[in-house]
Chains A and B, each alone.
Chain A
Amino acid sequence: AQSVTQLGSHVSVSEGALVLLRCNYSSSVPPYLFWYVQYPNQGLQLLLKYTSAATLVKGINGFEAEFKKSETSFHLTKPSAHMSDAAEYFCAVSPQGAQKLVFGQGTRLTINP
């Protein structure tokens, strides 16, 4: 079975600082990987997705993630944090050819002024 582990349930950074949210997956074959953002009392919005094309994936709002097969990782980064980035971030995995998403535990990102 596929699974996702997000290291750190809560990450706090200063405005303008680098954002790094960690995600490791467990899969026997390279899966499809996703990062979603959830603002309070809202549904999820797709930030970016990896589907076995380029390993460095650029998403919306200045976020990007790099798929590293050797490390089974798909960490999310943003060079400079903005106050509006404060939200819950979920990494998710989907088996190739399937649509079911398995979500990580989520990481709450707080931005300090």
Chain B
Amino acid sequence: GAVVSQHPSRVICKSGTSVKIECRSLDFQATTMFWYRQFPKQSLMLMATSNEGSKATYEQGVEKDKFLINHASLTLSTLTVTSAHPEDSSFYICSATLARPGNPTDTQYFGPGTRLTVL
């Protein structure tokens, strides 16, 4: 099956610093990648949708200048949390899909997640 990796799996940083999280599709080319955040004991909330070669589409309430998303290739998307603060501490999960126009049933394949702790 399709495999999605994330790096790093855990990161601890000081308040005010920036953190970059990578999401890679290992054995397929992902036309679209999604970024979610999950607070403890809560569900996943979609942050943004990232299409290769174009700007990401952010969900309402998500600061695009704080959460920078780059989808430079069909196998790599990055999420950069800029000037991180303790309230940004969360579990960040990416997913990738092969979906093409006219083929909406393709599955989202999820990465293992990255736990960010901001001190």
Q: Counting CB contacts under 8 A, is A45 at the interface? A: yes
Q: Within the complex, which residue of A41, A94, A98 is in contact with B115, where a contact is CB–CB below 8 Å?
A: A41
Distance of A66 from chain B, by nearest CB (Å): 18
Q: Give the complex CA separation of A103 and B47 in angstroms.
A: 13
Q: Give the complex CA separation of A51 and B6 in angstroms.
A: 28
Q: Counting CB contacts under 8 A, is B29 at the interface? A: no
Partner-contacting stretch, out of B11-19, B69-77, B82-90, B99-107: B99-107
> B44 touching A99 by the CB < 8 A rule?
no
Q: Give the complex CA separation of A104 and B38 in angstroms.
A: 12
Interface majority SS (helix, strand, loop, mixed), chain A: loop
Interface majority SS (helix, strand, loop, mixed), chain B: strand
> B43 touching A46 by the CB < 8 A rule?
no
Q: Within 8 Å CB of B97, what residues of A?
A: 99
Q: Within 8 Å CB of A51, what residues of B?
A: 105
User: Number of contacting residues on A, CB 8 A?
Assistant: 24
Q: Within 8 Å CB of A45, what residues of B?
A: 110
Q: Within 8 Å CB of B6, what residues of A?
A: 43
Q: Counting CB contacts under 8 A, is B49 at the interface? A: yes
> A42 touching B113 by the CB < 8 A rule?
yes
Q: Which residue of B lies closest to A90 (CB)?
A: B43
20 extra interface residue pairs, beta carbon distance < 8 Å, beyond A42-B112, A99-B106: A41-B115, A42-B113, A43-B111, A43-B112, A44-B95, A49-B107, A51-B105, A90-B44, A94-B104, A96-B104, A99-B97, A99-B99, A100-B34, A101-B34, A103-B43, A103-B44, A104-B43, A105-B43, A106-B42, A106-B43
Task: List residues of chain B with CB under 8 Å of any chain A CB.
Answer: 4, 6, 32, 34, 42-46, 49, 93, 95, 97, 99, 104-113, 115
Task: List residues of chain A with CB under 8 Å of any chain B CB.
Answer: 32, 34, 36, 41-46, 49, 51, 90, 94, 96-106
